Amino acid sequence: MDTKSTDSLTLITITIFFFCFGLSSHGRCLAAAPKNLTSGSSLSLNETIQSPSGLFQFGFFAMPQGSSSMYLGVFYNQVTVKELVSIWVANRNQSLSTDATFTFTEEGNLTLKDRQGGSIIWQIGAGNLLQLLDSGNLILGTSNASSETIVWQSFEHPGNTWMPTGSIGPHQKLESWRNASDPRPGPYSLVMGNNSNFILLYNDSIQYWDSGAWNGAIFSNVPEMTANYIFNFSFSNITGFTWSVYPAYGDKYNNSRFVMQEDGLVAESSYDKSQNSWDIFWTKPNQHCDVIRYCGQNSICN
């Protein structure tokens, strides 16, 4: 190969590299993401589906700190922070290798395997259309010329993150991760109490915070909700609590979320586009030492 050909090949390689890097703030070279997935198709490690606005993507991703462990889930696409931010993980109890396969079978089942022909890690069904909404909700449904029906949705199976328009009801909970790179359930959780309230638990048994009863406007132990509160809560006996951002605050707080953190605090945060960072502006309990083992096992918290 002559020098001119070598230089041309080098230029093409460099161009492809920077094009791939530009497609994602996390350095992943992604194929053009379709808006949905139909039965009889699949996703490889470098493919995703995305929400209509492109805010969220669903596909494989690796945890931070250069981990080789792979996970399948929903994550932010248009939020440019250093590390990928996921809001839901399908296989949080078991990581995957790079040989993992995700298939939407002809029968309508979503099937995740660690390798071709391997054991099933996660499976749901049956539908013929998989969609990712701009809320971050992943929906499996059946669609035909006359109707659409939701068979399954990720918002009914939250992990550590509670998103706007999602609900937390009597049989659901937010569970912390074990640490920042391990999404397996940790010891802390946020659940509904028996008095239209929320409580924080350690190991599903020891309560260390109570929101107080809901009176239709605020939780009794969260008086700050009356002072120009930016979130609107609603309650249903069937679905529990749902929240959204008041329209007046939408420009600044539209990308907001509740997270049950690994340190036992439940936190509200919002993405600050100007700073490319998540701002945590509300946490409970107020006194961090109220969290069971906040400072570690066999320690005294001060």
Between CA 256 and CA 54 the distance in angstroms is 16
Q: Can you tell me the mean pLDDT for 37-43?
A: 93
Least confident of 11-25, 85-99, 218-232, 247-261: 11-25
Residues 109-136: pLDDT tens digits?
Answer: 999 999 877 889 999 988 999 999 999 9
Instruction: Give the model's pLDDT for residue 7.
Output: 43
User: Is the per-residue pLDDT at 35 higher than 80?
Assistant: no
**If pLDDT is split at 50, 70 and 90, which confidence band does 4 have?**
very low
The β-bridge relationship of strands 167-168 and 240-245 is: antiparallel
- Higher pLDDT: 114 or 80? It is 114
Q: How far, rounded to the nearest angstrom, does the alpha carbon of residue 219 sit from its chain's CA centroid?
A: 25
Can you read off the two tokens belonging to residue 191? 């659940």
User: Is the per-residue pLDDT at 81 higher than 90?
Assistant: no
- Phi, psi angles (nearest 5°) of residue 198: -115, 145
Instruction: Give the model's pLDDT for residue 6.
Output: 40
User: Is the per-residue pLDDT at 275 higher than 90?
Assistant: no
Up-side HSE of residue 291: CA atoms within 13 Å toward CB?
22
Q: Can you tell me the mean pLDDT for 50-61?
A: 95
User: Is the per-residue pLDDT at 167 higher than 50?
Assistant: yes
Instruction: Give the model's pLDDT for residue 299.
Output: 66
**If pLDDT is split at 50, 70 and 90, which confidence band does 212 have?**
very high
Residues 244-272: pLDDT tens digits?
Answer: 998 888 888 889 999 999 999 999 999 98
User: Is the per-residue pLDDT at 276 higher than 50?
Assistant: yes
User: Is the per-residue pLDDT at 140 higher than 90?
Assistant: yes
Mean pLDDT of the chain: 85
User: Is the per-residue pLDDT at 18 higher than 70?
Assistant: no
Instruction: Give the model's pLDDT for residue 144.
Output: 84
Instruction: Give the model's pLDDT for residue 271.
Output: 93
Q: Can you tell me the mean pLDDT for 236-244?
A: 93
- Contact in structure between 124 and 152 (CB atoms under 8 Å): yes
Phi-psi region of 274 (alpha: psi -120 to 50; beta: other; left: phi over 0): alpha
